[in-house]
Each structure stands twice: as structure tokens, then as C-alpha cells.
Amino acid sequence: MKELTDSQVVEMLRQVSKAVIANVDVLTDADLATGDGDHGIGMRRGFEAALEVLVPGLSVQDAFKKTGMAIMSKTGGAAGAVFGTFFRGGASAFADAQTLDAARFANFLALSAQAVSKRGGVEEGAKTMVDAVMPAARAVGAEASDDLLAVFTAAERGALEGVEASKPMIATTGKARSLGERSIGHPDPGAISVSIILGAMKSYAASL
Amino acid sequence: MKELTDSQVVEMLRQVSKAVIANVDVLTDADLATGDGDHGIGMRRGFEAALEVLVPGLSVQDAFKKTGMAIMSKTGGAAGAVFGTFFRGGASAFADAQTLDAARFANFLALSAQAVSKRGGVEEGAKTMVDAVMPAARAVGAEASDDLLAVFTAAERGALEGVEASKPMIATTGKARSLGERSIGHPDPGAISVSIILGAMKSYAASL
Amino acid sequence: MAKVPKKILNDPRNVVTEMLDGLALANDGRVERLDGKDILIRTDLPDSKVTLLIGGGSGHEPIFHGFVGQNMGDAAACGQVFAAPSPDTIMDAAMAAHRGKGILFLYGNYAGDNMNFDIAAELLEEEEGIDVRTVRVNDDVAAAPPERADDRRGIAGDIYAIKVAGGAAEECDTLDEVERIARKAVGNLRSMGVAVAAGSIPETGKLTFELADDEIEIGMGAHGEAGIAKQKIASADDVADQIMEKILDDMPLGKGDEIALMINNLGATTMMEMLIVNRRVRQILADRGTIVHRTDVGTFLTVQEMAGFSITVMKLDDELKHYLDLPARSVGLSNM
Amino acid sequence: MAKVPKKILNDPRNVVTEMLDGLALANDGRVERLDGKDILIRTDLPDSKVTLLIGGGSGHEPIFHGFVGQNMGDAAACGQVFAAPSPDTIMDAAMAAHRGKGILFLYGNYAGDNMNFDIAAELLEEEEGIDVRTVRVNDDVAAAPPERADDRRGIAGDIYAIKVAGGAAEECDTLDEVERIARKAVGNLRSMGVAVAAGSIPETGKLTFELADDEIEIGMGAHGEAGIAKQKIASADDVADQIMEKILDDMPLGKGDEIALMINNLGATTMMEMLIVNRRVRQILADRGTIVHRTDVGTFLTVQEMAGFSITVMKLDDELKHYLDLPARSVGLSNM
Ligand SMILES: Nc1ncnc2c1ncn2[C@@H]1O[C@H](COP(=O)(O)OP(=O)(O)O)[C@@H](O)[C@H]1O
Ligand SMILES: Nc1ncnc2c1ncn2[C@@H]1O[C@H](COP(=O)(O)OP(=O)(O)O)[C@@H](O)[C@H]1O
Ligand SMILES: [Mg+2]
Ligand SMILES: [Mg+2]
Ligand SMILES: [Mg+2]
Ligand SMILES: [Mg+2]
């Protein structure tokens, strides 16, 4: 399909939230390996809050914005700031739009990538979720298709490549920073979250 | 033999001290079962201090007295008070005596038993070292012999019977008190110490 | 008693002396060690005052030696880990701290402490002619029923007793008066604890008792003495309810009664747990209309690395409030 | 990460709210929770003052929320366990505590805290026109070399920074002045820790890292972030030497320099160990002729039931001494 209606977007973001919540243990274990072990429960808190605000009747832009605001106000920690920013930062791509289409989504991801990189003060290579968002945004940009399933598939693939790429990195920010060389070999938990979020969008599109 | 010279008494009390010190782990484990686990190290501290004051040239009375004072000042806890009292409390039995003989030793044990019972505010049956000292004193009194080996053997036997007898008792004093029924089955650590002390006297006499 | 507890120490046989050195230094000059003995004493003792001597076994830091200072103990006689101090130590401390107006001995009610302090008291009276009085703290309601209250152990209530008696010894002129006030404080104290995991003695390296992975012991004493019941681990509210029921059975509190409330860390428990317990305790007290004049949540009487906590309630009147609230500064307790 | 830590809690998902209720109550009326939010605020805030807002993740009790009060934080914005508070919480706390003279944000230097406090600061400035300044505590010398000091984490030095900034915010008239003094305090702070065993997050029930039975980690951070070296367990003197060498390399102290010294319990460590460490630290400082103006040995910044401790040194001048020594009374810290 080529576009999602506003109510489909709300439903998609609900599916995204549920996917993150279902993966709490995966994220806990990933954060135990490189950080303090709270990424899973933090994301659960944030996306549970998102589920409460994702109600029928929201515009596309508001659906993303409110998701971001819920996450930012309930998650806490680094993840609250960066994932809140991820959903809010690119929401202007949907300003006045009745639907989500490939072009607007590409624009959303590009804007979001910029916003999180700015908020976190990091570029790619610092072993953060930015390492998943950036390649996802690039993959979507490169996917010259207007089919949403193809676009989401590319986004998830980009994110998963980012997760892989984060493994050999030495963290230079966040709680993993002082692990130094010991962070090598472990993927970044936030990057995994990005791949779960984009993967859930793909699954939703595939289910239509 | 029928008597010990003052220098033999000093040597005997040195052997007693070493026997207690050698049994630190036995006493630790016994006190772990019914109390706080420090009886072994406390007795070691006290008898190490005794070894420092047990030097040639002491009179019989002073040998017992100084042993008691060293224990009282270095052991601490319940044991410091009662074992210090044990050695000091009956020392007057040797007043002006050049030697230790069966009669004086019987008198010593009887006075000591009284003294510790008074100091601790307990009679037999409270699951304390008094339950070993009292039967030891009685056994010595009953042993109508002037042979010191026979007397010490009786003393140890009395103490060991007291250790056995302490097992089914419910402690009514000391750290074991609140164990209540749970103290049943375990011997009293202080009673074990009494049997070690008297047993070492027997071994010393046997070695002569 | 499998795993030896992992601690950062030097020679385990020297823990008490080394710790006392560190403790004296931690008092910023207000307290010193007496001649290398196991005694801490105030450096700012007035020339004339009623003396408050406290003490007991070590290993329960910050009590007792952490509570020496103005409006608290004038000196502390310290024993080895979990062992009462010897009569010598007690006498030396008493002689050094005495300022001509007699001495109150204030300590927890344990056979070992009672005997050693009594021996010292007898000698001080007979040989030195010093007037010595003894008040034993027996706040642990789990240790014996009310009719045998004299058999009860002293646990964290010690701290409030020291604070009140210390204030009284600073301000009151006679040993009689200080004894009376200390006795009133002790009579108004009730405590009970719960243990989640055992502590150990550095020199033996052995845990003093064992609890299964899902077990706690309600009413356990400060050395691992058995409590009222071993039971499956329960919620914070449930444990608080159990402890408070027992305390309030023993000393009913009603509308308008004022208390001081202490939640004491036995060693390794998180402050998070204690604060959650405090919340429940306050609900229970609010239901009765009981007023909490003052709360102390923290680490006051420990049992090495034992996990668990105790709850202490002291019923107050104006006199007790006055002495309890006097300023203090020490490693164990500071009041504004 | 085998055994789930044994704790006395209610629903682990509610630990922060329940704890904040308990904490507010433990302050005897001087502090309250703001409208059921994860915010503690003074009840005795003057009408006009520079505001000091502190905060950070929970689970480190008594910091941060235990240090709200006169001459300390005016309010604390509290996050979930080991998670920075959200911008909403920070803004709500800031708005409620603001008294017209601007706000200093003072917190530990972590990516999560930095981002959330920055977002709040931007919104407060843009939308409310409030002057907000930020000072981040970065005292952990183990976290990065001196040339990257901005990358260092904030650990127990937070407490001295809060105490100094809190005093300044009480007495000084301008935000500029309070910021200057807070910045000086932070510049003079150095800390380093050692972990002996891990803590856990109640909601996951999992230990945040693993150490072998005979292993310790020198320089470990307040959430189990890796330190300088995992090594075999060593003596107290040896560990103190290692930590002090690193601190003194970073901030040389010599004859006549005056400092405040804190030995902080990361959770489950005995005070005995910390006092023995204090003894050694004082030997090291005495050898240099450095004067210890004030010592704090106790539990100030924990990592749940982590075992281990940290050493903090703050170099003092008359100004810092003045603000550090102002009276305070709170769950986290009381000064006479
Ligand atoms: N400066 C930063 N910029 C962007 N993302 C960051 C930054 N710091 C951390 N993150 C992301 O946040 C994730 C950790 O989130 P979480 O565990 O919830 O927070 P915390 O680190 O506060 O415990 C990391 O895996 C990383 O992807
Ligand atoms: N009131 C008492 N009278 C006589 N002996 C006692 C009394 N209380 C305790 N004891 C003895 O002391 C022993 C314990 O000694 P120890 O463990 O060294 O002291 P503590 O009980 O202070 O830890 C007990 O086993 C018992 O024999
Ligand atoms: Mg994390
Ligand atoms: Mg014992
Ligand atoms: Mg003992
Ligand atoms: Mg975190």
C-alpha cells in the first residue's frame, strides 16, 4: 500500500508500542551487558504511556508527537530524551497531512535522525541509537519506492545493520562509555530498540 | 602423682591454654549453632593473654589468679567474665600453698563453681558452662582419691557429662536464650570449653 | 555458611583497633582514642559533669563508639566484635571520663555486657569510691514477653536512650536525675527487627546464621539470636504490619501520643526498603492519631553485613523531647 | 546474574512513588511531595531566594531526594531507578520551587541527566522566561583522564556540591554568585570508588554486573559502569592507597591545604571497613601535611545493595568552608 490513514497510523504506533513492551527482557539483557540494565523497563514505561495517548481521532502528526511526548515524560533516562525526540523531532514532516506516505516517512526519519543526534550531542560511531536511526534514514532515502511495506522493510534493514555495526564500536557516551574496550562485541540497546520500532511498522504494513 | 609443684602448675596451665587455642574452630562452630559464633576467637584471645602471664616463678595461687585476670581482661563477652571468674574465683583454695594436691583442687573447683554461678546469676539447667563446672566439681568431690590423674580424669568426665546434659536444655541466659526450643540438641559452647580445660589438665598429669 | 563474606580489611584480628583509629579521626577532633586502648572519649569534656559511659561489643557500627560527643556518651568502652568489653576497659574508660559527679553506665541488656559492666561497677565503687548507676536498654519486644521484660535484649533503642541520657548528663546536676531520665527513656522504648540475610565476624569469616533464599526471620536479635518466626519473605507492608502489631501490643499508642520513630538499617538493606517501610508505619500510626515528633531513617546499629532492619518507637513527653532534640554531632548521629 | 536479590518491598514497579512518600514523611514536615509527583520540595521555602534544583535517578538513596532542605536543595526532581527524571518532572519541580531569582540546576554528569535537564532548561527559559544555569558534578577521576574531565561521572561529590551550593543559594543574592560558588565546589571535588559486589534494579530483579568471588573493581561507577581495573581482592590499606594515588595525581594536595573528606558507603559495606579505610586515608594525608577540616563517613550515595565504597576529597577555601558548614537537617545529611 502507498499510504496509511490517520487511524491506521494510530494503530501502527500501538503495534509499535506493544512490540517494544514485549521485548522488555531483550532490552534489559542488552543494557546489562553495556549499561545499567534499565533500558527495557524504561522503554516499557514510556510505551505503556504512549498506548494511553494513542486513541482514535489523532492526526498523523499528533500521533507521532503525542507518542514522543508520552515517552519523554514517562521513560526517563537517556532513552526518554532520545526516543521522545525520535518521535517528536520528525513529526513536523506530517504537518497538515491526512496520511502517512513514503516521502513523508522518509522526511520524518531524516528529521528525527538529525534531532536525536543534536539532542544527544553525538554522531554515528558513538555506539548509540543514532547508529541505527541514521542508516535506517539512509536506507529509506535510497529505497526509491512509494510502497510503504518496501520503505518500512528498508528502514528495519538499515536499523538492523546499525545494530550489527554498533557491536565493534567503543561507546563514547551514555552509561556504556566507561566500559571502554569492554563494550566491544555488544550491540547498543537503544539501537536494538530502533530496530524493534521500525520492524513493528513493517509487520503492521505487511498485515494490511 | 599426688601433687604438682608451682612450676608444674604453670606448665599445666600453659598446656590448658594451648589446648583451648587449638580448639578455636570447635568452639566457633558450637557457638554458631546456639549463639553468635565468637566463643572460639574470644577464648583464643583470652588464653593467648594467659600464655603471656604464665611465666616461671609464679605461686600456685598466682598462676590461677593471673590466668583468670588475663582471661577477664582480654576475652570480653560472657566468656571473659565467667572463665575469668572460673580461674580467679577458686584461687584462694591455693592460698599459701606450695603445691596443688587433690584436696586443694577439689576445693578450687567447688569455689569456682560457686563463683561463676553467682557471677552469671544462673544455676544448673540454664545451658551454660555452669552445667559443666558443677558436675565436674561434684565428680571430683566424689572421687575419694588423692591421685591427681584420677581427680583430673573425674573432673573431665564430670564436665563431659555436663556437655551431654546441656544438649536437651533450653537456654535461659546468654545469646542462646532467644533460640528457645531451637537450642535443643546443641551442647553449650562454654561447657565444651570447660571440658577442654579439665581434659588438658588430665593429659598433662598423664604425661608426667 | 559456605561462602566467606568478601570484605575490604587488613588483618582480621586487628579490625577493632584499626577501626577505632579511623573512628576517632572521623570525629574531627571532638573525640580521641584513650592511650591506644579500645576506648573513645570526648576531648571537650567539661570539668564537672555527671558522666555517661556507654559501650558494648564492636561490629555494630556506628553504635556504640560512634555516639560519643556532646549530649551523647562521654566515653565508650569497646569490646571485640560481638563481645562485651572487659572490666579493665570499662574501668579505664570510667576513670578517664569521671568528672566528680558519678557515672551512669548505659548499655544493651546482654549477659556478657551485664557481667563485665557489673564487675567494673563493683570495683569502681569498692576501690575508687565512685558512685556508679546502671541502666540497661531492653527494647527488643521479640526477645521475651512483657512479664519477662528484664530478659529483653537491647537493640536500636540504645540510640535514643543514649541521646536522651547524654543530654540529661550534660544539663542535669545529679546522677540521680540523669538515672531517672535514662530509666524513663528506656521504659518508653520498644523495638523489633527483621533479618533477611546474615552478617559475619571478620575473624572467623563465618556467617552467624543461615536463612534460605526465600526466608526471613521476624524478631531476630542483633547477633542473629533467634526471633519470633522464620517465614517466607513477605511484602514491606506485611512485615511492617507484623512488627508494628507486636510493638503496639506491648506499648499501646493512641490519639495525641507523641513518639520518636527510628527505622534502622541492620547493615546491607537499601534505604529504599526502609523508606517504603516508613511509609507503611506512618499509615499505621496515622490511623491511631499518633503524632511522630521526629523520624530517624538510617544506619545506627548494624550487625556487620546483615540485611534487614528494625523499627524503634519511643513514647515522648516534654522532658524526653527536650533531651532528644539537643544538638549533637558525631559519626553515628548529627542533629541540627 | 543467577540469584534474584532478596528485598522487602511491595510491588517493584511502585518502588519510587512509595519510597518518596516514605521519604517525605521522614523529613518531619520540612519537606513534602509535590502533588503526588516524583518531586520533593521544602515546605519552608522563603519568598525570595535563588533556587537550587537537584535531582537524578532514584535507587541511590539518600541522594538526591534525601538532600532537600534548608542550606541544601530547594527541591529534587526524581527519576525511576537509575534513570534521569523526565523534563516534565524537572520543569514541575523548577516552577514550584522558583522564587523569582532564577534557578541553578545541579546534578551528576550523565548523558540521560544532561539531556533531560537541558530540555527542561530550554523550555523554562523559552516558555517561562526563567534564568536557568546548569552545573554538572563530574568528580569521578576513574571515569576519564584530566583532559577529558567533562566526560567524568558525578558520584558522591554530589553531596558536598549540594551542601555548598545550597548554602550559597540561601545566603547569596544572585544566581551569578550561586553559580560561581557551585562551580568552584565542583572544580575542587575528586572522588573514586571500588565495588565488591553488584546492586540490582528492583523491577528487573537482576544484578547490574558480575564480579567473581575474589574480585573487586577499582573505579567502578555508580551504576556498575566499568572502572579502571578488575583485580583480586586486596587489603583495605592497599585499596585506599590505590584510590588516593589516583585522586592526588589529579588534584595534588600539600602542606597546609585543607579538605573535606567523605568515605561513602555504596550500599552493603560495613562501617567497620570504611573506618579502617579512613584510618589509612588519614595516614596518607598526614604524610603530606594536608589538613582535614571535616570528615563524613556514612551512607550518602548508594547503588542499591552494591557493596563497596568511594572516597571523596574537596579542597577548601574559607568560602567553601563557610557554606559547607552551615547547619542542615535532612534524611541524607545533618550538620550540627
Ligand atoms: N548521548 C546520547 N545520544 C543518543 N543516544 C544515547 C545517548 N546516550 C545514550 N543513548 C541511548 O540510550 C540508550 C540507553 O538508554 P537507557 O538505558 O534507557 O538510559 P540510561 O543510559 O540513562 O540508563 C543507549 O543504548 C543509547 O542508545
Ligand atoms: N549468665 C551466664 N552465666 C554463666 N555462663 C554464661 C552466662 N551467659 C553465657 N555464659 C557462657 O558463655 C558462653 C558464651 O561465651 P561467648 O560466646 O564467648 O560470649 P557471648 O555470649 O558474649 O558471645 C556460653 O556458651 C555460656 O557457657
Ligand atoms: Mg540504562
Ligand atoms: Mg558468643
Ligand atoms: Mg559475643
Ligand atoms: Mg539508567
List pLDDT tens digits, range D26-76.
Answer: 999 999 999 999 999 999 999 999 999 999 999 999 999 999 999 999 999
Q: Are residues C216 and C303 in the same domain?
A: yes
What pTM did the predictor assign?
0.96
pLDDT band at B183 (very low <50, low <70, confident <90, very high): confident
Q: Verify whether ligand 1 is closer than 6 Å to residue A130 (CB atom).
A: yes
Contact in structure between C322 and C64 (CB atoms under 8 Å): no
C-alpha distances out from residue D80 to A42, A128, D224, Å: 8, 21, 17
Strand residue runs (E) in chain D: 31-33, 39-42, 49-58, 75-81, 100-108, 132-137, 189-197, 200-201, 206-207, 215-218, 229-232, 258-265, 291-298, 307-315, 328-329, 334-335
As a whole-number percent, the residues of chain B with pLDDT over 70 amount to 98
CATH code: domain of residue D121: 3.40.50.10440
Q: Which of B50, B46, B189 is nearest to B129 (CA)?
A: B189
Ligand nearest to the CA of B37: 4
Is D136 within a domain?
yes
Question: Kind of pairing, strands C100-108 and C132-137?
Answer: parallel
CATH number of the domain residue C311 falls in: 3.30.1180.20
How many Cβ atoms sit within 10 Å of the Cβ of residue D248? 18
| Structural Rg of chain D based on CA atoms | 19
Q: Which domain holds residue A101?
A: 3-207
Q: In D139-291, where does DSSP find H-type helix?
A: 157-171, 175-187, 236-250, 271-288
pLDDT tens, position by position, C56-96: 999 999 999 999 999 999 999 999 999 999 999 999 999 99
CB atoms B36 and C223 under 8 Å: yes
What chains are in contact with D, requiring at least 3 Cβ pairs below 8 Å? A, C
Q: Which of B20, B27, B31 for mutating ligand 2's site (highest number of atoms within 8 Å of CB)? A: B31
Q: Which chains touch B (3 or more CB pairs under 8 A)?
A: C
Identify the pLDDT of residue D221: 83
Q: Is residue C1 part of a domain?
A: no
Indicate which atom in ligand 2 lies nearest the CA of residue B77.
22
* A2 Cβ neighbours under 8 A, 6+ residues apart: A101, A102, A146, A147, A148
pLDDT-derived band of residue D334, with 50, 70 and 90 as boundaries?
confident
Rounded to whole angstroms, what are the CA distances from A2 to A148, D57, D298? 5, 43, 63
- Exposed, middle or buried by CB within 10 Å (0-12, 13-18, 19+), for B96? exposed
Interacting residues of D252 by C-beta distance below 8 A, sequence separation 6+:
none
Pocket test for ligand 2, best of B116, B129, B183 (most atoms within 8 A of CB): B129
Q: Which atom of ligand 1 is nearest to the CA of A189?
A: 25
Domain enclosing residue C38, as ranges: 12-188
8 A C-beta contact, residue B196 and residue B159: no
Whole-angstrom distance, CA of residue A32 vs CA of residue A40:
10
Query: Does the annotation mark D98 as catalytic?
Result: no
Name the CA dihedral angle for D21, D24, D28, D30, rounded to a multiple of 10 degrees: -150
C253 and C180, same domain (yes or no):
no
Judge if the beta carbon of residue A120 lies within 6 A of ligand 1.
yes
Contact yes or no for C204 and B81 at CB 8 A: no
In this structure, the answer to whether residues D17 and D150 fall within a common structural domain is yes
Q: Is residue D4 part of a domain?
A: no
CA D140 to chain centre: 11
Identify whether residues C312 and C230 lie together within a single domain: yes
**CB contact (8 A) between residue A79 and residue D225:** no
Q: Please list, in sequence order, all residues whose beta carbon lies within 8 angstroms of the beta carbon of residue C104, skipping any fewer than 6 positions away.
A: C50, C51, C52, C53, C132, C133, C134, C135, C165, C169, C175, C178, C179, C182
Question: pLDDT at residue A179 above 90?
Answer: no
Q: What is the mean pLDDT of residues C198-227?
A: 89
Check whether B204 has a pLDDT greater than 90.
Answer: yes
> Does pLDDT of A58 surpass 90?
yes
Q: How far is CA D246 from its chain centroid?
A: 20
Per the CB < 8 A criterion, the answer to whether C31 and C288 are in contact is no
Assess whether C59 and C171 both reside in one domain. yes
Residue B144's pLDDT band, with cuts at 50, 70 and 90, is: confident
% residues pLDDT > 90 (chain D): 92
Q: What is the pLDDT of residue C1?
A: 37
Per-residue confidence (pLDDT) for residue B178, from 0 to 100:
66
Question: C-alpha grid cell for residue A108?
Answer: 520524518
For D136-163, write each residue's pLDDT tens digit: 999 999 999 999 999 999 999 999 999 9
pLDDT band at A198 (very low <50, low <70, confident <90, very high): very high
The answer as to whether D3 is a domain residue is no
Q: Where are the alpha helices (DSSP H) in C47-130?
A: 87-97, 111-128
| Closest partner CB to D116 (pick from A41, A80, A175) | A80
Q: Which helix (H) or strand (E) holds B11?
A: helix B6-22
Q: Are C110 and C154 a contacting pair, CB within 8 Å?
A: yes
Task: Provide, rounded to the nearest whole percent, the portion of chain D with pLDDT above 70.
Answer: 99
Which residue stretches of chain A are H helix?
6-22, 24-34, 39-53, 60-74, 77-89, 102-120, 130-142, 148-166, 189-207
What pLDDT was estimated at residue B76?
95
Chain C residues 54-73 with a CB less than 8 Å from chain D:
58-59, 61-62, 66
Question: Cβ of D271 under 8 Å from any chain C Cβ?
Answer: yes
**pLDDT of res. C2:** 44
Q: Are residues D171 and D209 in the same domain?
A: no
Give A200→chain D minimum CA distance, Å: 24
Q: What is the pLDDT of residues D154-213, one digit of tens each?
A: 999 999 999 999 999 999 999 999 999 999 999 999 999 999 999 999 999 999 888 999
Chain D residues lying within 8 Å of A176, measured CB to CB: 225
Confidence label for D1 from pLDDT (cuts 50, 70 and 90): very low
Q: Is the dihedral of CA C22, C28, C34, C35 positive or negative?
A: positive
Look at residues C131, C163, C188 and tell me which one is the last residue of a structural domain: C188
Domain co-membership, C283 together with C139: no
Q: Which of D171, D188, D205 is the last residue of a domain?
A: D188
CATH number at residue A117: 1.25.40.340
- Report the DSSP beta bridge partners of residue C52: C104
**DSSP designation for D69:** S
Q: Residue B180: pLDDT above 90?
A: no
Contact partners, residue B64, CB within 8 Å, separation at least 6? B9, B13, B87, B88, B90, B91, B94, B108
- Note whether C63 and C150 are same-domain residues: yes
Looking at residue D251, the DSSP 8-state letter turns out to be S
B and A interact (at least 3 Cβ pairs within 8 A): no
Least confident of A181-195, C27-41, D264-278: A181-195
Cβ contact, residue pair C27, D335, below 8 Å: no
How do residues C120-179 score in pLDDT, each as one tens digit?
Answer: 999 999 999 999 999 999 999 999 999 999 999 999 999 999 999 999 999 999 999 999
- Tell me the residue ranges of DSSP E strands in chain C: 31-33, 39-42, 49-58, 75-81, 100-108, 132-137, 189-197, 200-201, 206-207, 215-218, 229-232, 258-265, 291-298, 307-315, 328-329, 334-335
Band of residue B171 on the pLDDT scale cut at 50, 70, 90: confident
Q: Long-range contacts for A181-184 (Cβ within 8 Å, ≥24 apart)? A: A182/D226, A183/A34, A183/A127
H/E stretch holding B89 reads helix B77-89
Q: According to the model, what pLDDT value does residue D279 have? A: 98
Minimal-distance CA residue of chain C relative to D194: C8
Instruction: Give residue for cell 582480654.
Output: B74
Q: Which three cell numbers stand for residue D230?
A: 578488575
Q: What CA–CA distance (Å, rounded) separates B71 from D242? A: 40
**How far is the C-alpha of B20 from the C-alpha of B190, rounded, in Å?**
11
Q: Do D45 and D108 reside in the same domain of the chain?
A: yes
Please tell me the distance from the alpha carbon of residue B163 to that of residue B171, in angstroms, as a whole number: 13
Q: Are D247 and D189 in contact (CB under 8 A)?
A: no
For C329, the closest chain D residue by CA position comes to D336
Residue that is last in its domain, among C159, C188, C217: C188
Q: Which of B74, B78, B179 lies at the smallest CB-CB distance from C115?
A: B78
What was the pLDDT predicted at D174?
98
Is C60 annotated as catalytic? yes
Q: CA-CA distance, D246 to D224, in Å (whole number)? A: 19
pLDDT digits (tens, 9 = 90+) for D107-126: 999 999 999 999 999 999 99
Does one domain contain both D19 and D128? yes
If one counts the domains in chain B, the total is 1
Neighbouring CB atoms inside 10 A of C127's CB total 9
Residue D126 corresponds to which cell in the numbers above?
523559552
Contacts of B193 (CB under 8 A, 6+ apart): B20, B27, B39, B43, B79, B83, B129
Q: Please provide residue D296's backbone torsions phi and psi, each rounded to the nearest 5 degrees.
A: -130, 105
Q: From ligand 5's centre to the CA of B142, what distance in Å? A: 35
Mutation target among A178, A179, A183 for the D interface, most CBs of D within 10 A:
A178
- Structural domains in chain C (count): 2
Query: Under an 8 A CB cutoff, do C79 and B119 touch?
Result: no
Q: What is the pLDDT of residue C90?
A: 98
Among D151, D201, D206, select the one facing A177 at the smallest CB separation.
Answer: D151
Split at pLDDT 50, 70, 90, the class of C333 is confident
pLDDT tens-place string over residues B88-137: 999 999 999 999 999 999 999 999 999 999 999 999 999 999 999 999 99
**Which of B207, B200, B171 lies closest to B188 in space, CA to CA?**
B171
D227 inside domain: yes
Residue of C nearest to B30 (CA): C208
Q: What is the mean pLDDT of residues C241-258?
A: 97
Decide: D111 in ligand 1 pocket, CB within 6 A. yes
What is the 8-class DSSP label of residue A35? Answer: S
Helix, strand, or coil (residue B57):
coil
Looking at the fold, whether D220 and D282 belong to one and the same domain comes out as yes
Tell me whether residue C2 is exposed, middle or buried, using C-beta atoms within 10 angstroms of its C-beta: 0 to 12, 13 to 18, 19 or more: exposed
Tell whether C98 is covered by a domain.
yes
Is D52 a member of any domain? yes
Q: How far is the CA of A40 from the centre of ligand 3 (A)?
A: 8
Pairing of strands D49-58, D100-108: parallel
**Gap between the Cα atoms of D323 and A75, Å rounded:** 35
Does pLDDT of D216 surpass 50? yes
Q: Residue A178: which pLDDT band, with cuts at 50, 70 and 90? A: low
Chain centroid to Cα D105, Å, comes to 13
Residues D49 and D103 in one domain: yes
> How confident is the model at residue C334, as a pLDDT?
86
Domain assignment present for C114: yes
